[in-house]
Amino acid sequence: MSNVISIFDTTLRDGTQGEGISLSADDKIKIARKLDAFGAHYIEGGIPGSNGKDIEFFKRVKSYAWNAKLTAFGSTRRKQSLAEHDTSLNRIIEAGVPAATLVGKSWDFHVHTALQTTLEENLAMISDSIAYLKRAQMEVMLDAEHFFDGYKHNPEYALAVLKAAQEAGADWIVMCDTNGGTLPNEIGRIIREISTQVQVKLGIHTHNDCELAAANTLVAVEAGVTQIQGTMNGYGERCGNANLCSIIPTLQLKMGYSCVKDEQLQELTTVARYVSEIANVHMPVNQPYVGNAAFAHKGGIHVSAILKDSRTYEHIQPELVGNKQRVLVSELAGQSNVLSKAQQLGYELDASKPETRSIMERIKELEHQGYQFEGADASLELLLRQATGQTEEPFAFESFKILVEKSAQRSVVSEAIVKLNIDGETIYTAAEGNGPVNALDNALRKALIRHYPYIEEMHLSDYKVRVLDENDTTAAKVRVLIESTDSQNAWSTVGVSSNVIEASWEALVDSIRYALIGREKRQLTPERKEQIGLVNH
């Protein structure tokens, strides 16, 4: 048996069924290009002709060369009709891509209840549709919908569906756990039972309704399937599809299967984060393998062990999937966290020097005030820079004013006035916004854009407010965490104040300072860097 597993990505089709996921044709092209470079074998682009985005996508696909096989999705022909006259099937052919996935019913209950036709007619629908696309020279996959439920209720019929597909010439039969309710031992047993009875290559398509989509996919591979269908970051209807970002590394690094090249696997984190950027969905920090916290250590015992040998608390080397180790600085940990964090960021601190002790004191004091640096690497780096004497600043703050006004007759208005100084020039500008923080953000950007056009490229991707010590109510301190991104990077900053506006201002300003200083660093020659003290070890 070969150990090569075909990766079938359906982010662009099933993934877009997820709540809050909406991709333009342009987004879809961008993601498809990235998946192609990553090494996906099949990229399911959508349902040709079903909507404007998918029509445009399949049109634009033709102007690129692909390593992957682009795939079009559709249902089997309508009941009581001819495949040749079926608009959707004809659109699949017209899409001009090499492969097609047809979804067909394999649970008798669905044939009766949802399709409202006979079991025989459903077999004919499957068989006619596959044969028609095969005659058009396409590679054809049957997605056997609700296969496991179907097999549990009526194994003869579920098997008859697979046999009809095989006889009609299907290249792949993909067993779907459409409602995500099947357990791993059932998946394994059923696949072993049917695999002796069909000769076509098998695939698996699972959903995460029991948090078992990854396990169900792995058990199917062990039972012999050689194609796995899933989405990036597990996007998809309800609880999502099988998450390829978790399954691919497990198959390849732990189970001896081959999915993509090793150097492609090292791009996994970048690809996953890119897709989440384009889809505009916040990636949970704790996402396996690719999340920002996947290799982050907070507990003091863990951190001190990690510093001795990272294998003590890491199941793989993070670099194998393009992620990295992070040590979180928090109340749960001690000095060793701060030192190793500084080292990671490129600052060599000598624990015995007084400057180092004074940074430690400063960080502890800030944490005591409510700052939290474990979620705000960029603010921590700015502190470390300052503490090590690297003090150049892209702008100097002079003042801001915010006005929020509401009357019984008129809806609320928020305005911000910002005064800054850049290289001796005073910049004084104002903007409105949906709320006071948005107005401040808008005014700040407006003030900076002429000197720093890059500011257009970065944007805030997450904004969190947390009330500290809630017993003090409206006079309590709040902590604001902001995450920002540009096309390359993500960074987080923090602000704390009893005034939510001031806390937001701090985090906003840190975010922009970090971006502008970092950008400058990237653009400078090594000599100039050295000159202005920007050398990281």
Q: Which two tokens stand for residue 423?
A: 């290289």
Give the Å distances, CA to CA, from 299 to 5, 296, 330, 332, 494: 37, 10, 9, 6, 21
By beta-carbon proximity to its own copies, the closer residue of 355 and 469 is: 469
Q: Under a CB-based contact definition with an 8 Å cutoff, are residues 322 and 292 in contact?
A: no
Alpha-carbon gap, residue 530 to 524, rounded angstroms: 10
Name the DSSP class of 6. Answer: E
By beta-carbon proximity to its own copies, the closer residue of 123 and 213 is: 213
By beta-carbon proximity to its own copies, the closer residue of 314 and 520 is: 314
Alpha-carbon gap, residue 26 to 22, rounded angstroms: 11
Evaluated on CA atoms 188, 190, 196, 199, the torsion sign reads: negative
CB of 27 to its own copies, least distance (A): 9
CB of 427 to its own copies, least distance (A): 14
Name the DSSP class of 70. Answer: E
By beta-carbon proximity to its own copies, the closer residue of 305 and 534 is: 305
By beta-carbon proximity to its own copies, the closer residue of 198 and 239 is: 239
**Environment class of 81 (CB within 10 Å of its CB; exposed 0-12, middle 13-18, buried 19+):** exposed
Secondary structure element (H or E) that encloses residue 414, with its range: strand 413-422
CB of 451 to its own copies, least distance (A): 19
CB of 464 to its own copies, least distance (A): 6
Find tokens 């948005």 and name the residue: 438
CB of 525 to its own copies, least distance (A): 33
As a three-state string, the secondary structure of 295-341 is CEECCHHHHHHHHHCHHHCCCCCHHHHCCCCEECCCCCCCHHHHHHH
CB of 454 to its own copies, least distance (A): 18
Q: Which two tokens stand for residue 140?
A: 């054809």
Q: ∠63-68-69 over CA atoms, to 5°? A: 85
Q: Which two tokens stand for residue 254?
A: 């732990």
By beta-carbon proximity to its own copies, the closer residue of 267 and 377 is: 377
By beta-carbon proximity to its own copies, the closer residue of 265 and 437 is: 437
CB of 514 to its own copies, least distance (A): 16
